[in-house]
Structure 1
Amino acid sequence: MFLSQLQLNASRPATQRLLASPQRIHAAVLAAVPDHQPDDRVLWRLESTARHDVRLLVASPREPDFTSCIESYGWPMRPDATWRTRPYTPFLSRLAPQQVWAFRLRGNPVVRKRDESGRIHTIPHLTATQQRDWLVSRAEHLGVSFPLDEDGAPQVTVSRRDSRTFTRNQAKRGRRVTIASAQFDGLLEVVDAERLRTALVRGVGRAKAYGCGLLTLVTPPSNHA
């Protein structure tokens, strides 16, 4: 496994068209992964702290080559603004119970309900509380627990919410798709390292092809270590 980060130039028209469609981003990411197989799970997430500071984070089973992406959407003349890739497996192998990590996830919080006719509908959670509860309810499945704050609430924050509508398979005039997503930040404690490794590699929730599901961990602030 490999974890990559590349910086995009949001002022370029081609980049603006790319960022307007998760379908296009997904295609660009897959094109950068050599010998991509249908059952490979490639996860990605956009991060932006300012209008012109847009970064693409990618987890892939094979080492990617983002040369074409940088030439088309990045800063090809700036060697300091290219991409960085590091092996992910050594980090995954060090995960162990009772470790505490700060995390970030952009997820697609939904619930599946059956109507009177028996049809199953996927309904998005729209409020911040519903979205947070969606993630907290998945703790056991993810192999984690969420430490509580002084008020007894899980340390999970919905830091950004978004809803995007785009055309799936534009070349064939595919159907319109709407993805409601939420960015979660907070703290987690490892309970089952193998389950957490699976979540980090395979993703969390739905809409993984469209920028959701990539869970990342970093060392927490010193006061939580």
Structure 2
Amino acid sequence: MTLWLTRLTPGPASRLARHELGGTGQTSLHRRVMSLFPDGTSDQARTRFGVLFRIEDTARGAHLLIQSNQPPDPGRLPDGYGTLTTRTLDDLFKALAPGRTLHYRCIASPVRKPGATTRSLYNLPAVVPLHGATADEWWQRQADKAGLKPLTLHSQPAATVHDRQHLTTAAQDTKSRAAGNRIHHHRVRFDGTATITDPGLLHHAIRDGIGRGKAYGCGLLSVAPAPDPQ
């Protein structure tokens, strides 16, 4: 299946685009991204279209990267919101070979989920955010599962996403007390170089994303060929 990578460059005069790309409450941004794909699908539209996205800070301001299994429709953007530049990832996937050196980037949500006994013993929440060295160790494990052996790693905190959970009517029937629950996604940006150990695993990791919070701008793994180390 072909994957498409799209860069959304916001229009310089669009206050709406600046607002949606500049906030950490990302319900509106997620809805904007999904509005670029066909209507009438299901509550699992993000999964159906393989949508992952990430805000990229550039010298020209915040841009949006969107990965999907079909190209988004630029005609679905509001007038003046921005422009879409789309290309396939076919050539990238053809270049993935064992031992190849890559640059990588991923904004992910590194957490651990302690068991009930551990939570009770240490009074821990169900999801514990990881920072510093423990976040780096988490990334090393994810990279290994993704068919990568990191050579270098630089991590830095990214803004935590704060939002509210909006459930469908069907979900509210079974989780009525959870409707409107606050959502927090702790995020870290991981950058570096790595060698490919398993192209198949890497392909799946790029396609499916890494970790939790994919509807909130987490999990998109970007790679690009790098010169082989001397």
TM-score normalised by the shorter chain: which range applies? 0.7 to 0.9
Do 1:34 and 1:63's aligned partners in 2 also have CA atoms closer than 8 Å?
Answer: no
Equivalenced residues, count:
208
Q: Verify the 8 A CA contact 2:154 2:192 in the aligned structure 1.
A: yes
Letter in 2 for 1:188: A
Which whole-Å CA distance do the structure 1 matches of 2:221 and 2:204 have between them?
Answer: 11
3-state secondary structure, aligned to 1:98:
coil
Q: Distance in 1 between the 2:12 and 2:218 partners? A: 20
Task: Report if the CA contact (8 A) 1:9-1:53 is conserved.
Answer: no
2:162 to 165, 172, 191: 165
Report the alpha carbon displacement of residue 101 of structure 1 after superposing the two structures with TM: 0.4
Whether the 8 Å CA contact 1:108–1:213 is kept in 2: the answer is yes
Q: 1:171 to 1:34 in 2, by over 3 A?
A: closer
- Compute the TM-score of the two structures, normalised by the length of structure 1: 0.81
Please tell me the root mean square deviation across aligned C-alpha atoms, in Å: 2.7
- The aligned runs of 1:49-64 (5 Å cut-off) are 49-50=58-59, 53-64=61-72
Q: Distance in 1 between matches of 2:57 and 2:137?
A: 25
**Does the Cα contact within 8 Å between 1:2 and 1:59 map onto a contact in 2?**
yes
Q: 1:32 aligns with which of 20, 25, 36?
A: 36
**Relative to structure 2, which stretch is displaced further, 192-201 or 89-98?**
89-98
TM-score, normalisation: structure 2: 0.79
Q: Distance in 2 between matches of 1:181 and 1:124?
A: 9
Contact 1:44 1:211 in 2 (8 A): yes
Is residue 6–residue 56 contact of structure 1 (8 Å, CA) maintained in 2?
yes
Deviation track 1:110-129 (CA, whole Å, cap 9, x = no partner) reads 1011123989822111x222
Shift of 1:140: 2.4
Q: Distance in 2 between matches of 1:105 and 1:48?
A: 13
Write the mapping of 1:95-174 to structure 2, written as runs, cut at 5 A.
Answer: 95-116=96-117, 121-125=126-130, 127-147=131-151, 155-169=152-166, 174=180
Cα shift readout 1:8-44 (whole Å, capped 9, x = no counterpart): 2476432244232312111111111236663422100
Question: For the residues of structure 2 that align with 1:84 and 1:162, how far apart are their CA atoms?
Answer: 26
Structure 2 counterpart SS, 1:24:
helix
Change (3 A) 1:171 1:115: closer
**1:182-210 CA distance string (max 9 Å, x none):** 11110011001000000000001111111
